[in-house]
Amino acid sequence: MTVQRTRPPTAQQFVLDELRRAITSGRLRPGAPIRQDVVAEEFGVSRVPLREALKTLQGEGLVTYRAHRGYYVEELSLGDLREVYRIRTLLEEEAVRRAAALMTAADLAALDRAEDEVEAAARAGDVLAMAAANRAFHMALYEYAAMPRLVRLIRTLWDATDAYRSIYYGEGVNRERVVGEHRAALAALRAGDADEAVRVLDVHRAHAVTALEHLMAEPAQEPAETG
């Protein structure tokens, strides 16, 4: 991967940001090996900050360590994926209902602006930007529930499926569907209809799971490399 960005203050943070970006953008796909010698040479860092960054990503559930084999991008089974999305459904319903009761006109305007970012990335076909904007949109909504512990749990579940979300956004029809579903959820929230907002977002997640089930069932391709 070509890196042309201003480096963060530390080498560890730089490597952490770039590896996370490679995973969430789909450049490093689930199950792909992370070759430490290649990454260290590409980023111009020693093994020490690289190992620390990998440990952080392991804690976030984005990578896994296999004894005598090294680090790999975390790979979920269909059962794992369904479980994560089921737990998200339960937690996010509570967050949406609480948020709907507490949101102000200013909050709704901020969500509209967040959705504008999602749509701009979707039009550009920028998967990485869309993944980031989509996450910002949803987390802003959940944070309006004023339940920080609940939001932390939801974030952890999102971390576990970031790599798969970028695969989903790789299809233009999925990007269009996401935009439509976000707009429908916003319309329900503006109308004060928490039940409809929950229903739309349940469908939103179900579409993602169905699409990912099909994608994960397809024959495996050669994994993307870090260099």
Burial of 46 (0-12, 13-18, 19+ CB in 10 A): exposed
For residue 152, the model assigns a pLDDT of 95
Closest by CA to 149, choosing from 185, 98, 111, 82, is 98
Q: Which positions of the chain have pLDDT values less than 50?
A: 1-3, 220-227
For residue 82, the model assigns a pLDDT of 92
For residue 227, the model assigns a pLDDT of 38
Edge-to-edge order in the sheet of strand 33-34: 33-34, 70-73, 63-66
For residue 200, the model assigns a pLDDT of 98
| Burial state string for 96-128 with b = 16 or more CB within 10 A and e = fewer than 16 | bebbbeebeeebeebbeebbebbbebbeeebbb
For residue 5, the model assigns a pLDDT of 54
For residue 224, the model assigns a pLDDT of 40
